[in-house]
Structure 1
Amino acid sequence: MSRPWDWSPLDLPAHPVPGDPTEIRSSAAAARATGTSIETQSRRLRRLAKADGWDSESGRTFTTSAEPLADAIDRAKQRYLDLAAALDTYADGLDDLQRQADRARLDADDAKEARRTADRFVVPGETDPVEVERQEAARTRAVELADADLADAKAVITRLVGSGGDASGEYGALNDRAIAAIRLAGDDELRDTWWDGVKQVVHDAQEALNITKDVLSILGFVLGLAAMFAGPLAPLLLGLSIAVAALSLLITLAQAVAGDATPADVLGDIANLGMACVGLGGLRAVSRAVTATKTSVTHSGAAVRANAAAPKHANAVRAQARRELLARADAIGRNPTVRFVDELVGGGGLELFLVRRLARGGPSATAHYGPGMLWAGISGPVGLVGHVGDVVTIKTIVSDLTDGSYRQKRREPVVGSL
Structure 2
Amino acid sequence: MPVPVPRQRDIPGTESGPGATSSLTLLVIEDDPAGGLTVPEILDADGHRIRLRSARNLTEAARLLTPDVNCVLLDLALPHGGGAGSGAGSGSGEAAADPFGALRQVLRIAPRHAVLVLTSEDDAERAAEAVRVGAQDFLFRDELDGRLLSRAIRYAVERKRADIAQYKLAESKLRAQENARLERGLLPHPLLEGSDLRFAARYRPGRSRALLGGDFYDTVRTPDGTVHAMIGDVCGHGPDEAALGVELRIAWRALTLAGLCGDDLLATLQEVLEVERPCEEIFATLCTVDIAPDGRRAGLCLAGHPAPLISRPGRPARLLPYENSGPALGLLPRARWPRRQVELGGTWSLMLYTDGLIEGRIGQGKERLGQDGMVEMINRHLADGLSGEGLLEASVTEARRLNGGELTDDVAVVLLSRAEG
Q: Which has the higher contact order (CA 8 A, sep 6+)?
A: 1
Same-fold call, TM cutoff 0.5: no
Larger Rg: 1
Instruction: Kindly indicate which of the two structures has a greater share of residues assigned to helix.
Output: 1
